[in-house]
């Protein structure tokens, strides 16, 4: 099995891994590849990075779908037989849409949307972004026009948090503390809040400037409002969570060859499997290439350097430094090799493991993404 088979055999491909390993880059590269092969592809990203927009030849990432025109492919000598669209996730808007969908009427909807606690939860509560990424995925995958959806996951500090996001969010909203607030509010009447309020305000300081009674009213309204749509919301989160386990969803782990990153990837792989999610491939990104030793003598190297360096630079002085740099680079490459091979042995099964070399420059245009894709789609 190769990564090409994984892309061809699934409708949703999700890149997961630690921050900075290349999730966004490889997600975009896979999307580019599949679009060039002829499929109608949506690249759904959480990363607002201009870099990615630029790489795809777009001015900016938008929160609605945006087509990458075939002429941009042509500019890099590439042919796009299918179509590629990109879309950036807007956490708050996705949450608002979810509320609107489940609220019993317009008044109930507005009560929640205008609530300050809601606004905090929807935009700042840890885990909301992760959950909404999945929520959006759930929504777009209902649209039959997409042959493939590639989802890039958020730059979560702990990649494992991502998978637990739907359950976590429900737990937070459905927590005993929230229910307690609601009960106290409804049971004791507003007068009781002068007392309770002080403690609670200290506890939930992060929520902002609102204090005392006003604050508690907001909490109660939020919890009451969420309860109103809770049946639908909880059910929805369960659907979203289940949908991630369906056979047409493939998770691709992205890691660097760094032993720490590999360790995390291994752990993450186990978690995915424990959770019943399909870990279908592994990308080891930014691998140091093993550069050959020079085939000529030191003396000849000095002569060759003399031919290319300006006269003010002594080639005999530069040569040992270049040799040293090459030795270091080769040591890195050998260390990377050991890591990748060990990972391969451990995975043991037919999970494709593909390597992408570290390029001299950031991946900054469609040509570079296609180049990344050419490594991703290599068959052993
Ligand atoms: N193989 C590579 N060679 C060189 N630079 C790379 C490579 N892969 C990714 N990069 C660069 O590394 C940075 C981080 O990559 P990114 O895809 O944003 O990581 P993540 O989404 O996992 O945080 C970006 O600037 C990207 O251009
Ligand atoms: Mg990213």
Q: What is the pLDDT of residue 165?
A: 65
Segment 318-358, tens digit of pLDDT: 999 999 999 999 999 999 999 999 998 888 777 899 999 99
Ligand nearest to the CA of 48: 2
* Alpha helices per DSSP H over 229-311: 230-243, 259-274, 298-308
Span from the CA of 153 to the centroid of ligand 2 (angstroms) = 7
Which phi and psi angles does 246 have, rounded to 5°? -75, 155
| Nearest ligand (C-alpha, residue 133) | 2
> pTM for this one?
0.82
Own/partner contacts of 212-217, CB < 8 Å, gap of 24 or more, are 216/181, 216/185, 217/185, 217/190, 217/193
Q: How far is the CA of 77 from the centre of ligand 2 (A)?
A: 27
Ligand 1 centroid–CA 151 distance in Å is 16
Q: Is the CB of 286 within 6 Å of ligand 1?
A: yes
Atom of ligand 1 nearest to the CA of 18: 22
153 lines ligand 1 (CB under 6 A): no
Residue nearest to atom 6 of ligand 1 (CA): 362
- Closest Cα to atom 8 of ligand 1: 22
Is the Cβ–Cβ distance between 366 and 73 less than 8 Å?
A: yes
Ligand 1 pocket residue status of 50, Cβ below 6 Å: no
Residue 46 CA to ligand 2 center (angstroms) comes to: 7
Query: Is ligand 1 within 6 A of the CB of residue 98?
Result: no
From 14, 20, 22, mutation site for ligand 1 pocket: most ligand atoms within 8 A of C-beta: 22
Ligand number, closest to the Cα atom of 21: 1
User: Tokens 């927009």 label which residue?
Assistant: 53
User: Ligand 2: distance of its center to the CA of 45 in Å?
Assistant: 8
State the distance from the centre of ligand 2 to the C-alpha of 205, rounded, in angstroms: 30
Report the SS3 class of residue 224.
helix
Q: Does the beta carbon of 359 lie inside 6 Å of ligand 1?
A: yes
Contact yes or no for 43/85 (Cβ under 8 A): yes
15 CA → ligand 2 middle, Å? 9
- Please choose, from the candidates 339, 345, 353, the residue with its C-alpha nearest in 3D space to the C-alpha of residue 288: 339
pLDDT in the model for residue 202:
45
25 lines ligand 1 (CB under 6 A): yes
Q: Ligand 2: distance of its center to the CA of 319 in Å?
A: 39
Q: What is the 3-state secondary structure (H, E, C) of 167-222?
A: HHHHHHHCCHHHHHHHHHHHHHCHHHHHHHHHHHHHHCHHHCCCCHHHHHHHHHHH
Three state DSSP letters for 97-166: HHHHHHCCCHHHHHHHHCCHHHHHHHHHCCCHHHHHHHHHHHHHCCCCCCCEEEEECCCCCCHHHHHHHH
Helices (H) and strands (E) in the chain, counts: 17, 8
pLDDT, position 196: 44
Closest residue by Cα to atom 15, ligand 1, is 22
Residue 149 CB contacts under 8 Å (≥ 6 apart), including other chains:
11, 12, 13, 41, 42, 44, 137, 140, 141
Q: Whose CA is nearest to atom 9 of ligand 1?
A: 22
pLDDT of residue 275: 83
Neighbours of 60 (CB within 10 A): 10
Q: For the chain, what is the radius of gyration of the CA atoms?
A: 26
Supply the pLDDT for residue 357. 95
pLDDT under 70: residue ranges of the chain? 47-49, 124-127, 155-216, 220, 223-224, 226-234, 380
Nearest CA to ligand 1 atom 23: 20
């Amino acid at each position: 099995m190769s990564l090409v088979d994984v892309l061809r055999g699934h409708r949703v491909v999700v890149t997961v891994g630690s921050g900075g390993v290349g999730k966004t880059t490889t997600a975009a590269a896979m999307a580019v590849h599949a679009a060039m092969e002829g499929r109608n592809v949506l690249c759904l990203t959480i990363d607002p990075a201009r870099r990615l927009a630029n790489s795809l030849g777009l001015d900016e990432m938008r929160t609605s779908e945006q087509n990458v025109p075939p002429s941009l492919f042509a500019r890099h000598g590439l042919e796009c037989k299918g179509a590629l669209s990109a879309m950036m996730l807007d956490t708050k808007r996705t949450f608002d849409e979810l509320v609107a969908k489940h609220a019993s009427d317009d008044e109930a909807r507005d009560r929640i949307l205008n609530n300050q606690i809601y606004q905090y939860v929807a935009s700042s509560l840890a885990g909301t972004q992760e959950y909404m990424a999945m929520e959006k995925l759930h929504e777009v995958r209902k649209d039959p026009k997409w042959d493939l959806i590639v989802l890039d996951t958020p730059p979560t500090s702990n990649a494992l948090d991502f998978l637990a996001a739907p359950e976590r969010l429900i737990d937070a909203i459905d927590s005993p503390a929230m229910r307690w607030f609601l009960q106290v509010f409804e049971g004791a009447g507003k007068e009781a809040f002068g007392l309770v309020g002080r403690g609670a305000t200290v506890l939930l300081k992060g929520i902002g400037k609102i204090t005392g009674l006003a604050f508690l009213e907001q909490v109660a309204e939020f919890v009451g409002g969420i309860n109103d749509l809770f049946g639908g919301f909880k059910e929805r989160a369960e659907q979203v969570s289940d949908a991630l386990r369906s056979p047409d969803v493939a998770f691709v782990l992205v890691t660097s060859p760094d032993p720490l990153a590999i360790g995390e990837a291994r752990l993450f792989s186990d978690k995915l499997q424990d959770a019943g999610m399909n870990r279908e491939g592994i990308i080891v990104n930014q691998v140091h290439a093993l550069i050959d030793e020079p085939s000529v003598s030191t003396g000849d190297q000095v002569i060759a350097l003399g031919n290319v360096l300006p006269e003010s630079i002594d080639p005999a002085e530069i040569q040992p430094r270049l040799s040293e740099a090459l030795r270091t680079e080769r040591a890195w490459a050998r260390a990377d090799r050991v890591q990748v091979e060990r990972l391969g042995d451990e995975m043991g099964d037919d999970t494709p493991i593909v390597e992408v070399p570290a390029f001299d420059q950031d991946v900054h245009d469609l040509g570079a993404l296609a180049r990344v894709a050419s490594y991703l789609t290599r068959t052993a």
